[in-house]
A and B are shown apart, each in its own frame.
Chain A
Amino acid sequence: MTDKLEDTEKRFLKNFGLHIGMFLGLLVVQTFALELFDLATWAKVAVTVAPVVPILFLVLSVVRNYRQMDEFMQRVHGESLLWTIGILGAASFTYGMLERVLGIVPPISVIWLLPTVAFMSGLVNFILMRHYDGE
């Protein structure tokens, strides 16, 4: 990896850690604030959605990191996202049908969407990288 790519990667990992840390910190604040204080509705809403702010900065970091990648890495990451969207889209559609039409599975909260996308794109990225990096 070149110095420029290494610096970009280090900066990304630093920002990633910072934003995840802020997210977890705000989750703790959210839990305690809602538990301990009798807040007005607007304050409850603000405290509840506050952890989303560092997540938005995290998304910005991911996009910036993508723009700094070389063309091959962009290709692999792009393919990972396409696979992730396709697989998750098909899976959620299938689950939605079973839930709505047959009612044989319980509803799943959409709060799991972002973690699932992050995990799955990481996994697919790992698999694709092994595929492309082999002989």
Chain B
Amino acid sequence: MENKLRVLRAENKWSQAELAQRLGVSRQAVNAIETGKHDPSLTLAFSIAEVFSLSIEEVFDPKS
């Protein structure tokens, strides 16, 4: 599943560690999601969308 996490994170000038801190997960988790190696759970996907004040559909593309 593709996502815009890296772009959104860059727009906010956050490092992976900073985003991980906001989400309450490890930096490795953020990296794995960004690189498409890990699809987050619904709970984490909601948290990610909330951190960027967006909807889940605006962050993740389930069709890809």
Contact = CB atoms under 8 A, between A and B. Distances in A.
Interface of A: 1-5, 69-73, 75-76, 129, 132-135
Contacts of A76: 28
A70 B37 contact: no
A134 B35 CA distance: 8
B27 A1 contact: yes
Contact of A132 (B21, B24, B37, B40): B37
B3 to A, nearest CB: 14
Contacts of A70: 24-26, 29, 44
Interface in B11-40: 17, 20-21, 23-29, 31-33, 35, 37-38, 40
B32 A132 contact: yes
A2 B21 contact: yes
Contacts of B23: 2
Q: How large is the interface on B (under 10, 10 to 19, 20 to 34, 35 or more residues)?
A: 10 to 19
Q: Is the interface of A mostly helix, strand, loop or mixed?
A: helix
Nearest to B33: A72
Contacts, number: 49
Contacts of A135: 35
B41 interface: yes
B20 A72 contact: no
A123 B33 CA distance: 23
A72 to B, nearest CB: 4
Given A1-B27, A129-B28, A132-B32, A71 B41 contact: yes
B38 A73 contact: no
A73 B29 contact: yes
A71 B29 contact: yes
Nearest to A135: B35
